[in-house]
Structure 1
């Protein structure tokens, strides 16, 4: 196990990485995407290359590249986006996003606030007064204020949850294409591509109080549910201008208004997540949403995660149930100022088959490296050639030594083959920082 010098280069490497990851660089696409002398396709007509992760399996993923001229549209606001999507219509379509689209807007473009969704007499002050543990106790909320909260949340959901159907490409034009405050849902769909979008702050106005466990919110920035052949590429995901650090605390817990950044659930399959940035968030990505979903999830949830940047995310990068998940060449960065919020990176859940190879971790000394892996009723995984602060480190042995009651065996039971390129983990911080995220295709 090569872990003795894990922190020897940490100061120099961390300064370089954090500077790189917060600077916009005008660089060309990686060699696997752009070939010398070959003009790349327009972003809207680009398709996933054969061999690029699980989404390339079988028929591959082409999105809306077969769209006719009538179904190539540019959208500037929520109403245009909803119209172009056609409530899950499967006609091949390319939807080009220009500028910022705010989902919390009325039909006339008026900005909507949480007060506009509230109904049934709901107010945050009244809800807090009704279910204060000092008077309510530890029972689950019930009664008029809880009913009003549920009704208010449904009103917001009708506005911010937008469905994506089959044979669809959604692509941002240039830099600055942003979907703010919404929850894009790829639901019961096949053959979808989402590229070059800044997903920002899917915020729930009406979190539910769960005694003894905190506040529970709805809305992922992007959810893939009961869908297959999906390519998520060169996007940026964050809580935008409403980070958790800005949220109040009630009853001893943060008033959590955010759920996941990207969740892949309910029997979804054949997904490639490449060259994205996930930053400044807690619960990042679920692959599989329930231990009891064997009927829908067994033999599915095959997902590839490569060349993504996970910067200051607390956990679930990813947390896996059931699926054969290939996580390679990702860069995990924990800033010293965010180390207190760090929980884990790789969650090994029920019947999961996670392979994590050739990834890079840039972390401060205060992070115990045994925490990088977390067992959630999982039994084994494959972990090879991962670097921590520039040094190859046996993360599985460190986990087992740190948490003997959560011992994990070595070996996920399968070996990935759908990889176009595998970079040296020592080069991953530089490559990912230069090329991952929206605005870089």
Structure 2
């Protein structure tokens, strides 16, 4: 099986190293309107990862509709260097939808006070009345039962604490913005980056780690045994946002992966939700060269089977050259949109931090085109399990490799699926916006080498020829 050392390096080592890198930022920088103007790159940058890089022509759905340029045209007054949550929020508020570049230095902990000092969940909850032990006592199924959701004083206290945390972690990105890591290991911990109803945004070169909910809600009616449900995604593209490019980032639940979470009422105290979701009528999105590791419910494209969220005719998303390692499900799960999934590398093992369910979810009215991806699997996972029927009807799967062998994923799925869950070949569309394509035999090596944040000079032609 092909190893994925690139993901291990970006999703683990960079998270650890980034705290130390904060010490490299000069303390004498002159304050600007939204952060600091002064500190510049402390590490040589890959030529392709530049502040003013725009999405190339024909590079996925985000290159349609006039293309995606982010803050490439920003003047010097709208170039910000930030190293704390307060500086980041101030910079975003200062842009006024003018083209802006926001360069992140070090690790920004968003569950933090105005000075950037991290806050514990207990500190965030102060003044709300929420105490976990009392919440558990109040809604223990042995006394509360399993036929109604929590209500009353302690649930109200949990909701109040949740709102306090939301005010910290929900970071909203305006139109015409590039948010980019400025040095090796730069990123955000605990952030819920929200791209809502805006246009022309680029998110690049960041370690996006452990987006966590301090105050998960208990729902005893969720399934046969009840479940803990959490809020927040590392990146949320919602409410009709268009022309969004998410590129060369590392998404991870480190350091608090699901296998380290406690269990209450027999269920994991789940503090993670999604990693990257595209929902509610958003459109024209390219997700490229990212590493995703150690996360369960990864990516939704479309959040509901209902048409009242504005999804029909929208949710056109491209996923290419991403590394999925140790992911449980939803890579992606699609509804409604035309979703192009090509040249990605999936690594599925029997010792993941989350149990494996499936990779590609075929949801209501979805149109997934899955081509020239490489799957490396060990343990009991079979090729027919890579797809999941989720009330969809059609899909295209062409030229994909499983353990270095070409496999017809659709045929493998149908051979093992019930009669009422069979999938047909989609003949309704065909992707055309593919500026960078590799032969499937090269995908694993190229993606492992280049997915995730990149620094240092590129040897020869970048990305194996793209």
TM-score by length of 1: 0.91
Deviation sequence 1:19-39 (CA, Å, 0-9, x none)? 564357xxxxxxxxxxxxxx9
1:188, CA displacement in angstroms?
1.2
**2:299 is aligned with 1:313:** no
Alignment match, 2:36 = none
Secondary structure of the 2:67 match is coil
Secondary structure of the 2:135 match is helix
1:421, CA displacement in angstroms?
2.4
Alignment match, 1:10 = none
Deviation sequence 1:369-421 (CA, Å, 0-9, x none)? 21110111101111111100000001111111212231111115210000012
Structure 1 residues without counterparts, runs of 5 or longer: 1-13, 25-38
Alignment match, 2:99 = 92
1:356, CA displacement in angstroms?
0.5
1:109, CA displacement in angstroms?
2.4
TM-score by length of 2: 0.86
Over 3 Å counting, the alpha-carbon distance change for 1:115 and 1:339 in structure 2 is: closer
Higher deviation after alignment, 429-438 or 398-407:
398-407
**2:284 is aligned with 1:298:** no
CA distance in 1, matches of 2:369, 2:387: 12
Counterpart pick for 2:200 among 185, 191, 207? 191
Alignment match, 2:78 = 71
Equivalent pair of 2:99/2:176 in contact (CA under 8 Å) = yes
CA distance in 2, matches of 1:100, 1:365: 36
1:112, CA displacement in angstroms?
0.6
CA distance in 1, matches of 2:124, 2:82: 25
**2:136 is aligned with 1:128:** yes
User: Which runs of 4 or more aligned residues in structure 1 lie more than 4 Å from their structure 2 counterparts after TM superposition?
Assistant: 39-42
Counterpart pick for 2:118 among 99, 111, 136? 111
Secondary structure of the 1:433 match is helix
Secondary structure of the 2:440 match is coil
**2:112 is aligned with 1:102:** no
Secondary structure of the 1:428 match is helix
Equivalent pair of 2:7/2:292 in contact (CA under 8 Å) = no
Secondary structure of the 1:341 match is coil
Q: What is the count of residue pairs matched by the alignment?
A: 413
Alignment match, 2:276 = 262
Deviation sequence 1:72-106 (CA, Å, 0-9, x none)? 11111111100110188311100011111110110
Counterpart pick for 2:404 among 360, 383, 390? 390
Q: How does 1:353-392 map to 2 (within 5 A)?
A: 353-392=367-406
Higher deviation after alignment, 304-313 or 422-431:
422-431
CA distance in 1, matches of 2:319, 2:84: 30
Alignment match, 1:9 = none
Alignment match, 2:8 = 22
**2:153 is aligned with 1:144:** yes
Counterpart pick for 1:324 among 316, 338, 352? 338
Coordinate RMSD, CA, aligned: 1.7
Alignment match, 1:428 = 443
Over 3 Å counting, the alpha-carbon distance change for 1:200 and 1:426 in structure 2 is: same
1:424, CA displacement in angstroms?
1.5
Equivalent pair of 1:17/1:430 in contact (CA under 8 Å) = no
CA distance in 1, matches of 2:347, 2:454: 20
Equivalent pair of 2:384/2:409 in contact (CA under 8 Å) = yes
